[in-house]
Amino acid sequence: MAAVAVSVAGLLTLTACGGGDKGGSGGGQAAQKKVEVFSWWTGPGEADGLKAMRGIFEKQNPNFTFFDAAVAGGSGDQARALLSSKLQANQPPDTFQGHAGAELQGYIKAGKLESLNFLYDELKLKEVFPQQLIDQISVQGQVYSVPVNIHRSNVLWFNPGVLKTAGIAAAPATVDEFIADLAKVKKAGKIPLSIGSQWTVVHLFENVLLGSLGTDAYNALWAPNADWSNANVTKALENFKTVLSYAGTPQEDWQPAAKQVADGEAAFNIMGDWAYGYFHNPPDGGLGKQSKTDFDWAASPGTDGTFMWLSDSFTLPKGAPNRNGAVAWLKVAASKEGQDAFNPLKGSIPARKDADKSLYKDYLAWSLEQWSADKLAGSIQHGVVAPDAWKTALSDAIGLFQQDQDVAKLQQALVAAAKAGGQ
């Protein structure tokens, strides 16, 4: 599938180049007007959100035309592959989507991104985004991206019916309770915990790690020279091993895993809050389930009061062909209006604290409330705390661990990955 998307991506660049040439020959003005916005929002919901933001942008900036350079493909794998080759060739789009946080560090180190402090000052963004968020996305006092939305990683999805049959009264609050509940479900003859392909196990890992260590210890792991070899981490890894031992057969991806919970085959699933849309949306994109009765959620075990976040954000590449247009886009992306148009459709919450609460219902209302009150921790799998190379090393270690279940070896690999990645 990746190869198809890559070749499609190739085609897209070709057409994009073709468009640029035409603009050039048709007079410099046409090229000046075009703002190329590079993203991987092509699926239902996200593409609608992008369209809504585009509407606002075009209304506010009649001089610019929006050029949608979206590359299809789930978590942006294909888009990022194409993007890095464009940036290396010094042919950046005017602005591109990236997960806020460490994922952008490679680009920042390579000097491909312009600092956005000027924009943050001009729009007083430091007052409307949570301080912890600003801290976690700053590199040496500079901010390089504008977060448009916030997703939550630490959500425990469960099937209330299955929990009832297994004799579990409420969602587990701690990792130990969680493990006890998993055993109960197993006894009741259902799959205790559903998992998907390897990345969903990394997602599970970050949740168990956060739940076992607590927020401060978890956040400390990402500082330079952090100690990954201590006994608390060992304990967390032991927990991870125990939790994983209750997992069902790995499904193809996160959707089939989530579906096992919705269908009452499995009791629990730990997945980001994009699962809500899948559970809740009508059958042509989701499962059409009733929230609170068919499925329910809670903070993943041991993480209540902490919001493990990830965020899509937009950047300003150095040498953007239409810098003014890109800045105009970033202003829309940062605005209350833009974020309130985008997020209800995408199924995420705005990064701004002053969003219109009435637009966010059900799960999103809960999430928004937590966002303004909780401590923050960054996601591993979704590019917040670990740069790509480190993340890949972690993901390899966890993939190997799935095969041999060797906690000591996993910890060694994590220590080595931190040493190599944390410089």
Q: Which residues would be at the binding site for other proteins (CB under 8 A)?
A: 1-4, 77, 80-81, 84, 88, 106, 109-111, 197-198, 248-252, 260, 265, 388-389, 391-393, 395-396, 399-400, 402-403
Taking the least distance from each CB to other proteins, the nearer of 8 and 119 is: 8
Taking the least distance from each CB to other proteins, the nearer of 25 and 249 is: 249
Closest alpha carbon to 130 in 315, 326, 377: 377
Distance in angstroms (rounded) separating the CA atoms of residues 267 and 297: 11
Minimum CB distance to other proteins, residue 422 (Å): 14
Burial of 5 (0-12, 13-18, 19+ CB in 10 A): buried
Taking the least distance from each CB to other proteins, the nearer of 248 and 422 is: 248
* Phi, psi for residue 245 in degrees, rounded to 5: -70, -15
Residue 298 has a CB neighbour count (10 Å cut-off) of 18
Minimum CB distance to other proteins, residue 21 (Å): 23
Taking the least distance from each CB to other proteins, the nearer of 372 and 392 is: 392
Taking the least distance from each CB to other proteins, the nearer of 54 and 112 is: 112
Minimum CB distance to other proteins, residue 42 (Å): 18
Taking the least distance from each CB to other proteins, the nearer of 67 and 268 is: 268
Handedness of CA 360, 365, 369, 372 (dihedral sign): negative
Minimum CB distance to other proteins, residue 392 (Å): 4
**Is residue 156 helix, strand or coil?**
strand
Distance in angstroms (rounded) separating the CA atoms of residues 93 and 87: 8
Minimum CB distance to other proteins, residue 84 (Å): 7
Name beta bridge partners: 67.
Answer: 36
Handedness of CA 177, 183, 188, 192 (dihedral sign): positive
Minimum CB distance to other proteins, residue 4 (Å): 6
Contact 301, 209 (CB under 8 A): no
